Amino acid sequence: MGGLTWNYVLKRVGMWFLTIWLGTTIIFLIPRLAPGDPVAGVISRLTAQSGYIENSAQMIEAWRARFGLDQPWPVQYIRYVGNSLRFDLGYSLANFPSRVESMVAQALPWTVGLLLVATLISFVIGNTIGALMAWERTPGWIRNLLPTTLTFTSIPFFMLGILLIYVFAFGLRWFPASGSVGRGLTAGLNWPYIASIIHHAILPATAIVIASMGFWALGMRGMMITTAGEDYMILAQAKGLKPSRIFWLYGVRNSILPQVTALTLSLGGIVGGAVLVEYIFAYPGVGYLLYQGIVTSDYTLIQGIVFMLVFTTATFVLILDLLYPLIDPRITYERG
Amino acid sequence: MTVQMERRQAAQSVTANGRAVTLEVKNLKVYYATPTGDVRAVDDVSFHVYKGEILGLVGESGCGKTTTAMAILRMVQPPGRIVGGQVLLDGIDLVGLNESALRDVRWNTLALIPQGAMNSLNPVMRIHTQIAEAIQTHEGRQPKDKLKQRILDLLSMVGLPSRIYDMYPHELSGGMKQRVCIAMAIALHPSLIIADEPTSALDVVVQRVVGQTLLDVKERMDVSMILIGHDMGLQAQLVDRIAVMYAGHMVEVAPVEAIFSEPLHPYTQLLIESIPSIKERKPLKLTEGITHDLRNPPPGCIFQERCPKVMDVCRRDRPPLRQLKPEHYVACHLYE
Ligand SMILES: Nc1ncnc2c1ncn2[C@@H]1O[C@H](COP(=O)(O)OP(=O)(O)O)[C@@H](O)[C@H]1O
Ligand code: SF4
Ligand SMILES: [Mg+2]
């Protein structure tokens, strides 16, 4: 029978844990593999930039305490992994005494909200377009229209973002050019606040959808063409089923399976992909934070964000892996 | 409905040799468009199927059997098209029907057991859903328990256990899948079932079981059947009459005993002689396959290039399919 088995769930959760552990290990190793003392390096760079650092002694102390750099490597390593798993990501170098986990916690909901929603919208629209492009019963005018909508996809994302801001923010003044929510609103579940969030999210979300739906459409089109040649499509037609039923329950239903796998990967890359979007639209998410971290050489911030990136990616993959057997009854059989 | 009534009335009137006829194919032509010209896959083919009989349709691979079957269902896939002819099912010409009238005929009156039965079931749909959708598409929504009982009855009629009711196709063996297809084909009590090489992908033992199932079903439901296949042994066991095709043409149609005891057409004779026999090892006489290009058939007899008895007239005139004895039709200049 299709569906989840304990064996499958345990394997997937094991993979999730392994991914996070490996990611943490790499994050731990990289600064240590770099030649020289990372702390001294950062501090001297900061000193060179600004000439004087507030609380620098306190900062170095906190840094050393955070990593226990006087301890042997194995001890450092175990403490680092332990701290990371408790989401203790230490102090920001550039914004001391802000803590990294609270900076990330403020930014993460914006990123996940914007990119998750936009990616899902793009997935639905793109796949529908692709499926219709491949379906031989699609009316001619729709079939001619669909490829034109996809030409936008070939515009570089950077230019697309600037174009949208130029036309809809500065030209028509329909949407704000930057930020995630208007000033002076009470945060919470009230309509003006939510409306403002949506208002701010429309332009960046549109940019993401336009830029990425072509990817889904092309993949779906290819899969639908493959599926159309399957024997079960012939039997479905011979059974006299309604074309709409054949389209959705035979064509799309079977073609979507590899697309969902691709969605897993793309959701995994969500935070990484957020850097450009959030930079262009000055959207205060994790991507924007990462950009700031890089610009200010904020080592701990970068490490913390990379850890969160690994964590969210692994978690998305886990969730989709657990959902996958529900849409493909063959999967538990094939992989145990 | 009017189509149904017309069908009933017409059914009384169509006869040949004094017997009621379910299907009459007249001068059917199906061509596939290719860059270098039309492939004449079915060229001026005529035959009929009596009520309650199994007609075997044989001939080597590529001679146009599947194309004939698909043309009867009006499901010739592009780049193929029906160029001319009539397909009279219970007196109604399917070639002239519109899309929705066709959907009404499909499965109600005309069912298919497809060539690739291994892959003919939708992999993501449970067995009972696939049978139920055939029933409900044509008969409307049914009470749940009544529908379930009907599906269980169908499964037991083809010798399948009730536990497969809830299963997915990948959980069944090839022979079981094939019998699910047979159960589905008889669900609406059609006039005609076309089985396209229903046993070709199965091992020998399972072939016999599936063959026997077909025979049982035919006897019990008094349905007419076209059984496509190149296993002459299986044909001998199951069918009433045999129609022999070569390169898109019908070359001989006769009762099964006559085909084996006194084959008239030189091609049929080769076909019979090359049946592997257990007692004596004969060299296989049929090894070449169709020798000419179906885009460009030679003038005169279609079989001239391989015929051991070819004459001058054979290269000039095409022999028509004529009734030589009662129920024995042949297209060859030898018998003029
Ligand atoms: N899509 C197609 N395009 C061109 N030729 C085709 C196509 N499909 C089938 N044919 C040709 O039509 C002929 C009959 O094919 P088919 O009906 O499948 O034969 P059979 O079922 O007897 O093996 C073959 O010679 C094949 O090459
Ligand atoms: S018509 Fe001539 S070539 Fe054709 S089968 Fe008969 S004898 Fe052979
Ligand atoms: Mg075939």
Q: Is a pLDDT exceeding 80 seen at residue B295?
A: yes
Q: Which residues form the domain of B24?
A: 3-109+190-265+322-335
DSSP A26: H
pLDDT at B21 over 90: yes
Interchain proximity B105–A240, CB inside 8 Å? yes
What is the percent of chain A with per-residue pLDDT over 70, rounded to a whole number? Answer: 86
B259 interfacial to chain A (CB closer than 8 Å): no
What pLDDT sits at residue A336?
41
- pLDDT band at A334; cut points 50, 70, 90: very low
CB contact under 8 A, A330 and B170: yes
Higher pLDDT, B126 or B294: B126
Domain boundary among B189, B218, B245: B189
Q: Are residues B86 and B194 in the same domain?
A: yes
Q: Residues A89-101: what's their mean pLDDT?
A: 80
Q: Which domains does chain A have, with CATH numbers?
A: 1-94+296-336 (no CATH), 107-295 (1.10.3720.10)
Query: Residue A222 contacts by C-beta under 8 Å, 6 or more apart in sequence?
Result: A130, A134
Same domain, B209 and B196: yes
Does pLDDT of B8 surpass 60?
Answer: no
**pLDDT on residue A149:** 78
Residues with Cβ within 8 Å of B78's Cβ and at least 6 positions away in sequence, in order, are: A136
Is B95 in the same domain as B205? yes
Residue among B104, B97, B114, B109 nearest B11 (CA): B109
Q: Tell whether the model's pLDDT for residue A43 goes beyond 80.
A: no
Q: What is the pLDDT of residue A34?
A: 65
Q: Are residues B9 and B100 in the same domain?
A: yes
Do the domain assignments include residue B289?
no
Among A96-110, A179-193, B41-55, name the most confident range. B41-55
Predicted confidence (pLDDT) per residue in B267-290, tens digit: 999 988 877 765 555 555 556 677
Ligand 2 pocket mutation, candidates B332, B335, B336, criterion most atoms within 8 A of CB: B332
For residues B286 and A319, give the distance between their C-alpha atoms in angstroms, rounded to a whole number. Answer: 58
> Per the CB < 8 Å rule, is A237 touching B104?
no
Q: Which residue has the higher pLDDT, A35 or A220?
A: A220
Residue range A85-102: average pLDDT?
82
pLDDT given at position A44:
67
Of A235, A242, A330, the CB nearest to B123: A330
Of A64 and A265, the one with more pLDDT: A265
Task: Clarify whether residues B26 and B154 are in a common domain.
Answer: no
Q: What would the mean pLDDT of B233-253 be, rounded to a whole number?
A: 94
Dig out the tokens for B302 from the structure.
Answer: 């279609």
What is residue B3's predicted lDDT score, i.e. its pLDDT? 52
Find all residues with CB under 8 Å of B303, minimum gap 6, and list them.
Answer: B246, B247, B251, B265, B266, B267
**Is B198 part of a structural domain of the chain?**
yes
Residues B237, B249, single domain; the answer is yes
pTM: 0.84
B333 C-alpha to center of ligand 2: Å? 6
How confident is the model over B96-103, as a mean pLDDT? 94
Residue range A244-302, pLDDT digits in tens: 999 999 999 999 999 988 888 787 777 677 888 899 999 999 999 998 888 887 778 88
Q: What is the mean pLDDT of chain B?
A: 90
**Given pLDDT bands bounded at 50, 70 and 90, which one contains residue B4?**
low
Is residue B328 domain-resident?
yes
Q: Is B311 a member of any domain?
A: no
B104 and B177 in a single domain? The answer is no
Q: How many CB atoms lie within 10 A of CB B81?
A: 14
Q: Report whether pLDDT(B220) > 60.
A: yes
Confidence of residue A50 (pLDDT cuts 50, 70, 90): low
Q: Kindly state whether residue B16 falls inside one of the protein's structural domains.
A: yes
The residue that leads in pLDDT, A165 or B8, is: A165
Domain containing residue B231: CATH number: 3.40.50.300
Q: Are strands B241-246 and B54-58 parallel, antiparallel or unpaired?
A: parallel
Whether B306 shows a pLDDT value over 70: the answer reads: yes
Which residue among B39, B249, B296 has the greatest number of ligand 1 atoms within 8 angstroms of its CB, and so is best to mutate?
B39
How confident is the model at residue B301, as a pLDDT?
95
Same domain, B19 and B72: yes
Residue A1: pLDDT band by 50, 70, 90 thresholds? very low
CA of B124 to the centre of ligand 3 (A): 26
Render A253-292 in DSSP notation, one character per residue.
HHHHHHHHHHHHHHHHTHHHHHHHHHHHTT--SHHHHHHH
**Residue A51: pLDDT over 80:** no
Contact residues for B244 (Cβ-Cβ < 8 A; gap 6+)? B58, B59, B250, B251, B252, B253, B259, B265, B267, B268, B271
Is residue B101, in this structure, part of any structural domain at all?
yes
Give whichever of B12-26, B80-94, B116-130, B275-289 has the largest mean pLDDT.
B80-94
Residues B182 and B216 in one domain: no
| pLDDT above 70 (res B240) | yes
Mean pLDDT of the A307-331 span: 85
Are residues B205 and B329 both part of a single domain?
yes
- The model's confidence at residue A151, banded by pLDDT at 50, 70 and 90, is confident
Boundary residue ending a domain (B144, B163, B189) = B189
Q: Is position B131 within any domain?
A: yes
- Whether ipTM tops 0.95, in short, is no
Among B189, B218, B243, give the residue marking a domain's end.
B189
Do both B87 and B194 map to the same domain?
yes
| Atom 27 of ligand 1, residue of closest alpha carbon | B62
| Residue B192, strand partner residues | B110, B224
Domain-embedded: residue B272: no
Give pLDDT, residue A335.
46
Q: Which of A184-193, A206-215, B105-114 has the lowest mean pLDDT?
A: A184-193
pLDDT in tens, B47-67: 999 999 999 999 999 999 999
How many CB atoms lie under 10 A from the CB of residue A168? 17
**B81 and B198 co-located in one domain:** yes
CB contact under 8 A, A253 and B124: yes
Q: Is the pLDDT at A228 greater than 60, yes or no?
A: yes
pLDDT per position as a tens digit, B134-144? 999 999 999 99
Of residues B90 and B10, more confidence is placed in: B90
Domain count, chain B: 2
